[in-house]
Structure 1
Amino acid sequence: MAKRKRLAPPKTDYLDTPAPSAILPEPPRRAPPIADVAGHASTTAALEEMSDTLRRAREEGRMALELPLDQIVTDYLVRDRINVDEGEMEVLIASIRQRGQQTPIEVAPLPGGRYGLISGWRRLRAITRLAETGEAQPQILAFLRQPEQASDAYLAMVEENEIRVGLSYYERARIAARAVEQGVYPDERSALRSLYHAASRAKRSKIGSFLTLVKHLDGVLHFPESIGERAGLILARELDQAPAIARRIAAHIQADPPQTPLDELDRINAALSEIAAAAKAETKIKNQTPKRGSETNFTRQIHAGLHVVRHDITNPKGGRLTIKGAAVDENLADDLIAWLAERSAQK
């Protein structure tokens, strides 16, 4: 008898099973070559634009740079600040210690990877002190400037200090004089008009008067920045009339060096008092002089600060001449002695 064949139940998911070829991963779809080129070009252009923007920001001084302190040349310009108040410096150091450097300094690029300081000398000194004690990194934030001429750099320094720290009349005059000496400006008038173009004509005139003090007393005075406006103008007028006053002031200061600005003002006043007393005595003698030819004294004023007194010139036994005044100095004495010797030799 034949054996029955068992039938399996029908497969209901037969048609749902994917074909073997259908389970293989599809190859990645490649973009057209022109799209790849365009994308790469766009990325390159964006990087170049960013690089150019950063470069221009750096060159135009709109981006602060972090520079090592030893790359800053502090004597790139003749500084307009003569002395710095130690109390003010301590306040600045405390501020930077607590809040960091808030305002970058200004520098100009120099050969060899160095930078010349234009403005920010006090900030540079403060950060240098903090770096020496380990309280700050030996670096400073700086804006890069590109002054076309030296006069532009000097102008930037003066303007920055005029805004941040008021300069004395002496300091203003001194920087103008030094700029002329270095050939930045052809003369003092040009320096005053350029450096202090924003000042009134009256203020520029006062700064110009202080140029007389710089000319005769720079290096002599210990506290020149402490000379006030009125005292400075009076002293300038006296020096214009009798330049030899400068030697008398120098003698007083050298004989008893001042320790404070008030001490120095006392030395100046003492010298001026001596000059005034001598001038008053000469004026009194002049007012009392009789007509020329008498046997009493006769005084003649050669110019301001120089008088000749004749004593009994008509006396048969011989007369006497006295030359006196603020203008009498070693040079005049040497010239007079040489002239007398030459005159005697000709007889």
Structure 2
Amino acid sequence: MAKRKRLTPANPMFLEPAPETKSAVAAPLRAPIADVAREASATAAAEEMAHSMAQARAQGRMVIAVPLAQIRRDHLTRDRVTVDEDDMAPLIESLRARGQQTPVDLVDLWPNKDGPRYGLISGWRRCLALERLHAETGEAQFAEVLALLRRPQDSSAAYVAMIEENEIRAGLSYYERARIVLRAVEAGAFADAGAALRGLFASASRAKRSKIGSFTTIVSALDGALQFPRALGERQGLALAQALEADAGLAAKLAATLRREAPETAEAELALLRSTLQPARPDRPKSHPVSVQVVRRSNREVSLIGEAVDEAFLKDLEAWIAKRRV
């Protein structure tokens, strides 16, 4: 019978992990290519976004919030002579209820260090409405205006932008159109009134530009003397312009009359202009009664005797008889 071999238990020392072998040379680190690439990509994306935003801002494709105090509203001579409160009231209520829906147009005046940073091109009424709301409520949301930065090629392009907006949003009077023509020439945006008319009102018909040109005569003669120039209609304005061109002394006469009378309403001012323009009627000579004697000769014959029986009298009589026969 075979002898069985007795097995001894396993030595626990043999089950422990092998001792760590250390080398004098450090193991090579993992190459950080992925990390470098990721960081470079993030940096490039951030730079591209910053560049795109700066470009969009400069090109007028990004709406920005600008404090009203940083806007120079008289950067351009405004085309509006007066503020129509009937038009302002609904605009103010709309801004109060819904906020500003349409941005204004600004130009960056940098590096101008004196005064506001931005110049207003269009949106004067919205800025005025926001200013009134801020003064009334004190709310910070009305202290800023949403704006687009524009880069007009020159001052004439800026004036065109202002005119285009107001022609679309709220029509200007002929007087206001004529006034901005002359102010644009004075500012050096155009060489003369003809160039300003063609540039500012390129889309208008030739007849309309001609009427605006006629109103420039009124602006040159009476700007500042008229208190309600927007009320001057097309027909009366053209008649006034024609009268001013025909009479060199009429402008001074009208200005003196307007200052002396100081009409308080548009109707009173228009009536004053009409009365001044109407030529004085010559006094009619007083008529003396002239008798006509009627002598009846028979049932079929009548004679008319007197100084009034002349050729004109007979023609009137014949016409009267002819009407009676019809």
TM-score interval (norm. to shorter): 0.7 to 0.9
Greater length-normalized contact order (CA 8 Å, ≥ 6 residues apart)? 2
Contact 1:245/1:271 (CA < 8 Å) preserved in 2? no
- Listed as ranges, the gaps of 5+ residues in structure 2 are 1-8, 21-27, 285-326
2:146 is the alignment partner of 1:128: no
Counterpart amino acid of residue 45 in structure 2: A
Do residues 251 (structure 1) and 250 (structure 2) align?
A: no
Are the equivalent residues in 2 in contact too, given 1:108–1:118 (CA < 8 A)?
yes
User: Shift in Å at residue 249 of structure 1?
Assistant: 1.8
How far apart in 1 are the matches of 2:17 and 2:86?
Answer: 91
- 1:82 corresponds in structure 2 to 81
2:238 to 233, 236, 239: 233
Matches within 5 A, 1:122-271: 122-133=125-136, 134-135=138-139, 136-271=141-276
CA distance in 2, matches of 1:245, 1:100: 49
Separation (CA, whole Å) in 1 of partners of 2:222 and 2:160: 25
Deviations 1:193-246 (A, max 9, x none): 000001111111110010111111111100111111111111111111113222
Over 3 Å counting, the alpha-carbon distance change for 1:30 and 1:60 in structure 2 is farther
CA distance in 1, matches of 2:65, 2:210: 41
Indicate conservation of the 8 Å contact 1:66/1:142, yes or no: yes
Shift of 1:35: 2.3
Question: Deviation digits for residues 21-63 of structure 1, max 9, x if unmatched?
Answer: 99xxxxxx97533222222211111111101110011001111
Change (3 A) 1:266 1:20: farther
Taking only the aligned residue pairs, the percentage that are identical comes to 51
Q: CA deviation at 1:19?
A: 5.8
In the aligned structure 2, how far is the partner of 1:93 from the partner of 1:241?
Answer: 45
Cα 1:51–1:252 change in 2 (3 A) is same
TM-score, normalized by length of structure 2? 0.75
Query: Is 1:176–1:188's contact at 8 Å kept on the other side of the alignment?
Result: yes
| Amino acid of the structure 1 residue aligned with 2:170 | V
Deviations 1:56-107 (A, max 9, x none): 1100111111111111001101000011111211111111000001111111
Aligned-residue Cα RMSD (Å) equals 2.5
Superposed, 1:2-151 pairs within 5 Å as: 32-110=31-109, 111-112=112-113, 114-133=117-136, 134-135=138-139, 136-151=141-156
Number of residue pairs matched? 262
Q: Please identify the structure whose Cα radius of gyration is greater.
A: 2
**TM-score, normalisation: structure 1:** 0.70
Distance of 2:220 and 2:248 partners within structure 1 = 10
